Amino acid sequence: MFFLPPLPAVGRVVVGCLVGKRYWTRSFSAAKMTKGLVLGIYSKGKEDEVPPFTSAAENFNKSVSGKLRELLNISGPPLKAGKTRLFHGLHQDFPSVVVVGLGTQGASVDQLENWHEGKENIRAAVAAGCRQVQELEISSVEVDPCGDAQAAAEGAFLGLYEYDDLKRKKKVQVSAQLHGSGDQDAWHRGVLFASGQNLARQLMETPANEMTPTIFAQEIERSLKAAHSNTEVYIRNKCWIEEQQMGSFLSVAKGSDEPPVFLEIHYKGNPNASAPPLVFVGKGITFDSGGISIKAAANMDLMRADMGGAATICSAIVTAAKLSLPVNIVGLTPLCENMPSGKANKPGDVVRAKNGKTIQVDNTDAEGRLVLADALCYAHTFNPKLILNAATLTGAMDVALGSGATGVFTNDTQLWDRLFKASIQTGDRVWRMPLFEHYTRQVVDCQLADVNNIGKYRSAGACTAAAFLREFVTHPSWAHLDIAGVMTNKDEVPYLRKGMTGRPTRTLVEFLLHFSQEPATE
């Protein structure tokens, strides 16, 4: 149906398509074969209806005398949501045009799916279109806003990202920009949201020997300082950690030759510098072997991303700083490796946390909660408005929800509502899990210490882990996000490539955005 003839003389290119019974061609200079265009089309509302273009696609169709519509009509059935069709030679400025299916026009919040269907359709469609442009080795693409410039930008930048930092052969880097004079502010916001998630993806995907606790802290310091001037970064060493009596954190770190780091970052966006901050805490295990309770060899390489909690909360704070949100935020990330050695924790050891509670370590592979315990205790010293922690904490969370949503355990229904509403807009969903006393009894019934780092029974592992963390929280507004299930992507999220996801960074940023817009309260 579509034909690209052999290249003519150097410096000129002839491209063409079959239109009806006529082969239509145009000649362009090779220099202009460097820009693609992604345009949207909706599904038919009725059987006899012509599938409607977006306004940008309709304008483009008029500029080429209706040839885009003509080609679509002869090229196959109407495009379904997320599907693409490629055309060459329609326009001098855009030698390659990708039309993408956006699904139903006017799609809004799907109460069963708990996301905004229209926004998700845009992200998936634009990502597919931009990747097709990248496969053509075209280095620049303009993107139809598709009715939501922020969602379009997120689709473009999330869809094009792939970690290839350590490869000699890399994909063509594609520069994406908004097509037309639409909502540039929304587009820019989408770029920042996506860039934040991509930062988390990069941190999580980088091999553990290239992303040690020290390197992680330095990367975040560089990113935060570049984002906003009103920031502070403290990279605390082992001596400081010992002074803070963080015995639980140190017990995990001592099994590795890599020195532990406690990273503390501050973004001060509220004009009232004394306003209580929001404190975000992230689990920062830069590699998790399981320690003495060592993991199976299969897929252990994925444990380079066991610092996903630290990556997502730090990336969210960096993005909040780039957006200049009027809110004060503190980020805390205990960073270390969990390795088996002669110095490592042994099953049955008892360690003491910062708040004085003793912990019986019956499984050294349940180490994330040990490092978080001390960080949560320290979080209270900032007189925070709320405390939120994120961690790739339990395989049980993956079993429970898979990659469909982040599990949220919280003692504050208002905080839950805010997170839930944010996730509807981002499509990076959350789901509330129980914090019953039923689970607390299973971790405090301990033979040697105040609390055990695993529950009495094998079942409900994500819930008993949350109950353990609750033993180190006295704040009335706290949420624990278990992100183990959403750590990686195979093909579940169409606008993310295979690999580490950086989820739920955008939901955290959306949460911060809405929180910063609420009227101040005492």
Catalytic residues: 295, 369
- The answer to whether 120 touches 158, Cβ cutoff 8 Å, is no
Largest CA distance in the chain: 85
| Three-class DSSP labels, 386-429 | EEEEEECCCHHHHHHHCCCCEEEEECCHHHHHHHHHHHHHHCCC
Per DSSP, the residues of 443-474 read HH--SSSSEESS-SSSS-HHHHHHHHHHTT--
SS3 call for 124: helix
The answer for residues whose C-beta is within 8 angstroms of residue 256's C-beta and 6 or more apart is 336, 337, 338, 339, 341
Q: Can you tell me the distance from the alpha carbon of 144 to that of 153, in angstroms, rounded to the nearest whole number?
A: 9
In single-letter form, the type of residue at position 416 comes to W
Q: Can you tell me the distance from the alpha carbon of 88 to that of 14, in angstroms, rounded to the nearest whole number?
A: 10
CA 167 remoteness from chain centre: 23
Give the side-chain half-sphere CA count within 13 A for 60. 29
Q: Compute the radius of gyration of the chain from its Cα atoms.
A: 25
DSSP character at residue 6 = P
Per the rule left: phi > 0, alpha: psi between -120 and 50, beta: everything else, 456 is alpha
Instruction: Determine if the peptide bond prior to 434 is cis (ω within 30°).
Output: no
Q: Can you tell me the distance from the alpha carbon of 406 to that of 398, in angstroms, rounded to the nearest whole number?
A: 9
CA 322 remoteness from chain centre: 16
Q: Quick count: other Cβ atoms within 10 Å of Cβ 172?
A: 12
Q: Can you tell me the distance from the alpha carbon of 481 to that of 508, in angstroms, rounded to the nearest whole number?
A: 11
- The answer to whether 156 touches 59, Cβ cutoff 8 Å, is no
- The answer to whether 481 touches 402, Cβ cutoff 8 Å, is no
